[in-house]
């Protein structure tokens, strides 16, 4: 696992914890998160089937990135299914940042991808996916949550 991947994983898990608190406050929804890799690979990120993704570039670009495949290291020969194409219990897909969270059905995102209803495909050395521009994000998401600024956790270190 590269240092870049470790840092992105850290950012993602911190955002996931933030969103878990927001879901309790805003929707009364409590998530039971799987912490072992064994259960995450077998079932999904949590018992409720909700995938949470941090998009730290959204505020600058106005586009969200939906992942379809990944590699933990650029030197791995093949991508594996991930994001909306990972075979697990996910049915809801939450993506955003500390200012805005979009809730999509996984089925909707797969439909947008298969119908080419996106801005463009993206491939990096460790990820494949597509970009959705803000107008489509707001049109096709099921719900938008605007967390209050004071809810964002402060840096400890």
Q: Residue 4's pLDDT is what?
A: 79
**pLDDT number for residue 62:** 94
| The dihedral formed by the CA atoms of 60, 66, 69 and 73, expressed in degrees to the nearest 10 | 20
The pLDDT value given to residue 109: 98
Mean pLDDT (10-residue bins), the chain, 157 residues:
81 94 93 90 91 94 96 90 93 96 97 95 95 96 86 56
Dump pLDDT digits (tens) for 45-88. Answer: 999 999 999 999 999 999 999 999 998 888 999 999 999 999 99
Which helix or strand (DSSP H or E) is residue 111 part of? helix 106-114
Determine which helix (DSSP H) or strand (DSSP E) holds 61, and give its type and residue range: helix 58-61
Nearest to 9 by CA among 127, 100, 154: 127
Residues β-bridged to residue 130: 66, 121
Q: What percent of the chain has pLDDT over 90?
A: 78
Give the model's pLDDT for residue 134: 94
Q: Quote the pLDDT of residue 41.
A: 84
């Amino acid at each position: 696992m590269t240092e870049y991947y470790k840092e992105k994983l850290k950012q993602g898990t911190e955002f996931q914890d933030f969103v878990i608190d927001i879901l309790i406050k805003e929707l009364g929804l409590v998530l039971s998160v799987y912490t072992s890799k064994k259960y995450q690979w077998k079932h999904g990120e949590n018992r409720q089937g909700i995938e949470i993704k941090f998009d730290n570039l959204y505020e600058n670009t106005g586009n969200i990135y939906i992942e379809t495949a990944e590699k933990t290291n650029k030197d791995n020969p093949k991508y594996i299914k991930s994001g909306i194409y990972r075979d697990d219990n996910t049915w809801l897909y939450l993506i955003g940042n500390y200012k805005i969270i979009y809730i999509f059905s996984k089925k909707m995102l797969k439909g947008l991808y298969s119908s080419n209803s996106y801005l463009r495909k993206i491939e990096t050395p460790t990820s494949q996916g597509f970009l959705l521009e803000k107008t489509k994000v707001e049109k096709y998401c099921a719900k938008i949550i605007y967390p209050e600024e004071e809810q964002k956790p402060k840096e400890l270190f």
